[in-house]
Chain A
Amino acid sequence: MERVPVLKLGDLLIVSIQIDLQDQSVLMLQEDLADAIVESRARGVIIDITAVEIVDSFIGRMLSTIASISRMLDAETIVVGMRPAVAITLVELGLSLGGVRTALNLEKGVAMLKERGGADPVAVPE
């Protein structure tokens, strides 16, 4: 079974899905990511699905779950690169990917996370 690699880039984690994922790989990725967020103290996670040809209810649920888990671990998740055909299909399927933020491509996703980092309140002395 193939494992999806999790890359670290500064305080961001980047996951680029390049293969047709079977359910077991999806679950493993979910666990690997949670560990990696804690370990690396990442502030943001980018899941790049540019190469992904279909998102079904299982993968869709995984994306929502990862977003919720990372939020709990104080990291923001952004899903980038969803293809138009995939988006149209998800809408028809009835999946809303609740709680998941999205961006058109990797660059925009990174920019969104940087912006969030910059907007973080600086500790104000009493």
Chain B
Amino acid sequence: MPEIFTYGFMQRAFIAGAIIGVICPAIGVFIVLRRLSMIGDTLSHVALAGVAAGMLGSIYPIYSALAFSIAAALGIEKLRQEFKDYAELSIAIMLSAGIGLATIFISMGKSNSSIFSYLFGSITLVNLQDIRTVAILGLIIMVSLIFLYRSLFYITFDEEAARLAGVPIKRVSLYFNILVAMTIAVSMRIVGILLVSSMMVVPVAAGMQVAKSFKQTMIYSVLFGLVAVLMGLFISFYWDLAPGGTIVLSGIFILISTLLFKNIKLKVTANHIKATA
């Protein structure tokens, strides 16, 4: 067995990473296609406030982050009804509130070094409690996504038609925001709060380059997400770099590869057409 797998902390990092590699892009497909990329950033900044608050109050930071970001997800829906025509505004307000709170809580805390591991991710600090939490929440998220798959697909493609087809739009949107909040809480230990939303976006961008249907978009995005996490963890381990950065950059590398692949394929077919004409 290669050295990397003999360490208990690396085994834990790989288990948590695999779960994150699947759920971030699966959630991300809907976020990207609903043009809601901001929501990931917003909820993760609120989660940061939650982590800082948790450290102040000696609460397990994943729980406090989860509580904060779920509250924010509910708040965004509420604000969205107030600012009907300016849906982004509700997200921007929540983002400001999140950053404001995080700044205050962090400055109130004495030791700020531990907050870095939540900002940039960490492989050595993942403990058994983390793994248990990640696995349980990850399972809930995955089952929920499969359950909501049809309604989310329809809402994402055409909200008005979805409503007429009987999709309970409001409930599904709310539930989805809560899933985003949960995904952030689950992912921040490994990927880091700053880069969670990239994990939701980058593999999806790559998946969309090669997919020929919605189902394929889902499958490729998850596949690329998994590969990015595994690659990132290897690089993080051997070069001693923060895993958040190595994972997201691996994702970017995959994205560039798919773009190149697509362009080459286009050229090849164009040449083929020229040659046969």
State yes or no: do A and B come from one complex. no
